[in-house]
Amino acid sequence: MIRFQRQKPTEDLLKPIDTACSSKNKTEDYITALQWYKSKTEKEIAQNTPEQNDKLYEDYVKIRDKYTACLSGTLGNILDEYINYYDAESKGYKFPENIKKLSAELKKGGLEFMEIGEGYTEIWSLPDHYFSVFKDKVTPDYNDYIQQLSKESEGLYSADAGLVISWKELGDRTIFWENFMKRYPKSHLISRVKEMYNSYLYDYLFGMDNTPTHEHSDGTLYDENRQEFNRIIKKYPNSNAAKKAKELMNLYDAHLSDEEIHKKIDIERQY
């Protein structure tokens, strides 16, 4: 069970002793722990160098991921039933008082319920949580990285095996991460960003199961995707994304098979 003790007479914060998930812990225990770590982190940020705060950010994410996983286990039944509160007539959710109170409690810890499709609901950090804590307190690459992730977390990327955001937004995200790698080639984040970039680029070129970029029966590119590819080519002519989009259009126009096209484009979705 997460218990708290005073560390110093002058300290007004209570430190969690146990960070492990336990069936004995209640929602408020985890929220209190999250609040404590946020306050602790903000104090450390003020004393650290930007480089030290880069490492602090990574540690802070791990801590929050741990407590979020604990909460997801504790609230498993509620997460399973969350979709049932959706009202088709009003096209919105109608929550009972206990769920409203729980949502307010989660927000105290910088968390929220997020319906992710196919009847599943998860607990996510609020989109701006990490950037609000670390803004301008880390190195420039981390600052740009955290800020962009906060923007991308404002809504779902995909659901039900299909893209949720627009093709234009996906194209712009792809370009952002490509430029990030060019701007910060020695960043400690490069390998992570490269994985994201490859996955975005793959989806941008080929789409997802329920939102493909082309007709599988005859290999015809959909007009909206061809228009989007041409937009990227015109706006970012020297980008790798533009070059791949141009190559892809030529390959489909040449009526090559999907297998041949995938082999020539040579991009793997990382996750």
Are 87 and 175 contained in the same domain? no
Residue 192 sits in which domain range? Answer: 157-271
Closest CA to 36 of 101, 127, 109, 102: 109
> Is residue 108 domain-shared with residue 204, that is, in the same domain?
no
pLDDT averaged over every residue in the chain: 91
Q: What is the residue whose two structure tokens read 């390998």?
A: 191
260 and 182 together in one domain = yes
Distant-in-sequence, close-in-space partners of 19: CB < 8 Å, separation ≥ 6: 2, 33, 63, 66, 67
Q: Which tokens sit at 99?
A: 């769920």
What percentage of the chain carries pLDDT values higher than 70? Answer: 92
Query: Virtual CA dihedral for 73, 75, 81, 84, nearest 10 degrees?
Result: -130
Give residue 145's pLDDT band: very low, low, confident or very high (50, 70, 90).
very high
Domain count, the chain: 2
Does residue 150 lie within any of the structural domains?
Answer: no
Question: Are 60 and 122 part of one and the same domain?
Answer: yes
Write out pLDDT tens, residues 193-241.
999 999 999 999 999 999 999 998 888 999 999 999 999 999 999 999 9
- Encoded amino acid at 49, one letter: T
- 243 lies in some domain: yes
In a domain, 112, yes or no: yes
Instruction: Concatenate the DSSP letters of all residues of 13-36 into one string.
Output: -EEES--S--TT--HHHHHHHHHH
- Provide the strand spans (E) within 54-196: 86-87, 92-93, 111-117, 120-125, 158-159, 162-163
User: pLDDT tens digits, residue range 67-83?
Assistant: 999 999 999 999 999 99
Domain check: are 122 and 161 in the same one?
Answer: no
What is the structure's pLDDT at 106?
Answer: 97
The answer as to whether 5 is a domain residue is yes
Say yes or no: 176 and 128 in one domain: no
Q: Which two tokens stand for residue 146?
A: 């955290």
Least confident of 6-10, 101-105, 165-169: 6-10
Query: How confident is the model at residue 25, as a pLDDT?
Result: 85
0.85 surpassed by pTM: yes
Instruction: Examine residue 56 and state whether it is found in any structural domain, yes or no.
Output: yes
Q: Are residues 242 and 167 part of one domain?
A: yes
Looking at the structure, tell me whether residues 176 and 94 fall in a common domain: no
Verify that 131 and 42 share a domain, yes or no.
yes
| pLDDT band per the 50, 70, 90 thresholds, residue 20 | low
- 152: in domain: no
C-alpha span between 135 and 151 (Å, rounded) = 13
